[in-house]
Amino acid sequence: MDRNLFGSLLGNLLGLSSLSALGFIFSANPSAPPPDKPPADWRLLEPVTYQNLTVFPVVSPNDHETKVFLTLDEGLATGEVVVREQGSEGMARNRDGRDGIIRPTYSTGASVNQLVLINRGKRPLLLLAGELVSGGKQDRIIGKDRVVPVGADPLPLDVFCVEHGRWSAGAAFTDAKTIVHPSVREQAALESDQTKVWSAVRSGTTANAEVSAASPSLAAPQLAAPTISRTIANDAPTESYQKIYESRSVRDSADNYVEEIQRRFARSTSGLKGEHVVGVVIAYGGEVAWSDIFASSDLFHQYWNKLLRSYVVEALARPGYREVASRDDASVFLRNPNGRIQEETEPGVYRWRQVNQGRLSLIELDALDPKILTLHRLLIRRTS
């Protein structure tokens, strides 16, 4: 073979290998699962049911080390994480649609859908879509799962407003120890639509009530849209998510509900031998609708309290269904849907992946350092 031709071919092969290592090249088959992703070994326990909410605990013999990651609750409480309005030094995020690589560009002025986050800690920061930060000019929620590395430049953070009626200087941003309920979280994480986020906050749920032969009648939701409207008028004139869903009228119903599920969940998951609770699959009436699964029991328990409250708020906003979801239906949420993979990556830090099949949408967040590990897996049966 001609020496120059051989050298050219070798150079091209080496170049492709380098690009792949940096995350610029993904699977050639967009419908295939990533080849470096081992199969999960999950099992469903017996369901925990109360009123129209059913929780299926997910257990695994694997319990990965995740204490190397910092959560938003921890970071804001200790001052290791700072969130502020975008200003003259703020940055906007730019994505190249061809390779999914995130690149910063610079912008000025406060923005409804962007904040600036600084990780001052010594651990990478884990963010989940739907986590709420309160303060600034408006309360916001995180728009997408991601990891923020140690020592990173101020990060342009995609967010959605959950306080429609205020745009004025407020206190410094603090963690509300809240994650918004599934209908709102869906509009942020999947639809990426600010108007739909506001609508979901005001309406309570985006799910349509379906009357089946098994449930010819439905009990009215405890948290119906007119109740939310009265709460806004009396307690939350700026339509603040936190003030609406933590008002006394909502809190009294939600607290009792949460306590009962907590008690039954603790009893259901006690006495496990060689297995760890790493997540849950959630059903409203007979419809399996949601799941959150983590890489470790430690991560799951750090998020469990605010996740459970979010599921309860959704249950209160949905009609009371008589039927209960089956374990077979819930097991579908442990499988990966087949569909085209959309990916974004920050090389050496994290990879975000979404797969849609029919009404099912899967979102997975992989840490790439110190090793490849799926930190969070979210599977949704979309309402819209």
Average pLDDT of span 9-33: 39
pLDDT classification of 69: cutoffs 50, 70, 90: very high
Return all residues near 157 (Cβ < 8 A) that are at least 6 apart. Answer: 83, 114, 115, 116, 117, 127, 142, 143
Spatial separation of the C-alpha atoms in residues 157 and 278, rounded to whole Å: 27
- Asked whether residue 215 carries a pLDDT value surpassing 60, the answer given is no
Give 200-214 as a DSSP string.
Answer: HHHHS--PPP--BTT
Helix %, strand %, coil % for the chain, to 5? 30, 30, 40
Mean pLDDT of the chain: 86
Between 31-40, 282-291, 329-338, 369-378, the lowest mean confidence (pLDDT) is in: 31-40
Backbone angles phi, psi at 371, to 5 degrees: -150, 165
Using alpha carbons, select from 346, 340, 262 the residue that is nearest to residue 57. Answer: 262
pLDDT the model gives residue 97 = 44
pLDDT the model gives residue 171 = 79
Residue type, 78: T
pTM of the model as a whole:
0.85
pLDDT the model gives residue 210 = 66
pLDDT the model gives residue 98 = 47
pLDDT classification of 176: cutoffs 50, 70, 90: confident
- Asked whether residue 247 carries a pLDDT value surpassing 70, the answer given is yes
Domain ranges of the chain: 39-208+217-381
pLDDT the model gives residue 258 = 97
- Asked whether residue 128 carries a pLDDT value surpassing 70, the answer given is yes
Contact 71/306 with Cβ under 8 angstroms? no
Beta strands (DSSP E) in 97-154 are 102-106, 114-119, 125-127, 131-134, 140-142, 146-148
- Asked whether residue 373 carries a pLDDT value surpassing 90, the answer given is yes
Total residues found in the chain within this entry: 384
pLDDT classification of 13: cutoffs 50, 70, 90: very low
Rg (CA), the chain: 22
Q: List the strands of the sheet with 70-71, edge to edge.
A: 70-71, 125-127, 146-148
Spatial separation of the C-alpha atoms in residues 140 and 166, rounded to whole Å: 11
Spatial separation of the C-alpha atoms in residues 129 and 142, rounded to whole Å: 5
pLDDT classification of 39: cutoffs 50, 70, 90: low
pLDDT classification of 26: cutoffs 50, 70, 90: very low
